[in-house]
Amino acid sequence: MALAGVALAGAALAGNPQFQGADPHAMFIGKDLWVFPTGGPGGSWRADRFGAFSSPDLKSWKSRGELIRRDQISWIKDDGAPEHFLWAPGVATRGGKWYLYFSVGPQIPTPSRIGVAVADRPQGPYRDSGRPLVTGKLVKDGHGFEAIDPMAFVDPNSGKAYLYAGGSAGSTLRVWELAPDMVTVTREVKIDQPPHFTEGAFMHERGGTYYLSYSHGKWNGASYSVHYATAPSPTGPWTYRGVILSGDARHQGPGHHSFVRTPSGEWLIVYHRWERTPGPEPFRGERQIAIDRVRYAADGRILPIRMTDGAAAPTLPLR
């Protein structure tokens, strides 16, 4: 069943959790918040397609349909692996086009890969570029690179575009500069590894400061959390700032997030979490998308983020 046909469970109820899903890349398109997740409402993660969901108020959500399916990616079987999965989408726009970056696994027995597809509108349909953008290297004895969790960032100050990716096996972050066509890598930018990096990198800029945030820990365990560092440029050097989002008595494993600026200039974080108390790992079931406020100190630091439930979650316009 295509995601376009899914009725969002609890769509009439404002609050956290918003809906089932993981790895949300979020952005405002006009006055609506769009979320591009792994999986989504309506059942367990199928890992063979991507969908998108939007809301004008964070009270009700609309499915925007199917973006791309696994069988529309021409190169996906070139590695000879017996099965493939799609996860962790990242979306960017430039020059009137929309770009969907995505992870293709498994990492074993063949290296994971990152692909990119192009569309004329955010809901697609997206057209596969015809080749992997980045291919990983199998990790052995802690060395290698897992090509997952892509995030494309167009620097508002320089106009340059960057691709951030990597994590889990090897826990290595890599950064590339993208050509203006957004589907070609021009060069890799050498960076220092940020402390406690595991996966799910995200970059945003505020007031001339660049914020690199990322997930740390085991994706299905209590250690999963969001850390961040700041820099004077999109590629560092990083100043580690600490943990801003971690589990509490009612929620576990928050992470793989996006920062988004509302049309009125305030900031939100969109992330996934497990709706459960601390307990035995690995956690099982489905992760849920949640949205909470982000507040900055006068010196630009991000203040610790408090997870909310139900009507305590933000709505638009922010109250």
Amino acid at 174: R
Identify the residue whose tokens are 């990119």.
116
Contact 8, 41 (CB under 8 A): yes
Each residue's pLDDT tens digit, 183-208: 999 999 999 999 999 999 999 999 99
Residue 142 makes CB contacts below 8 A (sequence gap 6+) with 170
Q: Which fold has domain 3-215?
A: Tachylectin-2; Chain A (2.115.10)
Contact 24, 289 (CB under 8 A): yes
Active-site pick, 32, 66, 199, 292 = 199
Active-site pick, 23, 66, 146, 292 = 23
The domain ranges of the chain are 3-215
Across residues 6-26, what is the average pLDDT?
75
- For the chain, give the percent of residues with pLDDT over 70: 94
Question: Which pLDDT score is estimated for 42?
Answer: 59
Question: Which pLDDT score is estimated for 45?
Answer: 57
23 belongs to the catalytic site: yes
83 belongs to the catalytic site: no
Residue 2 has pLDDT above 70, yes or no: no
Question: Which pLDDT score is estimated for 5?
Answer: 32
Residue 39 makes CB contacts below 8 A (sequence gap 6+) with 20, 21, 22, 45, 46, 47, 286
From the list 78, 83, 60, the residue with the least C-alpha distance to 14 is: 60
Contact 166, 147 (CB under 8 A): yes
- Determine the 3-state secondary structure of 69 from DSSP: strand
Each residue's pLDDT tens digit, 78-132: 999 999 999 999 999 999 999 999 999 999 899 999 999 999 999 999 999 999 9
Question: Which pLDDT score is estimated for 143?
Answer: 83
- Determine the 3-state secondary structure of 127 from DSSP: strand
Contact 75, 132 (CB under 8 A): yes
Each residue's pLDDT tens digit, 23-76: 999 999 999 999 999 988 754 456 899 999 999 999 999 999 999 999 999 999
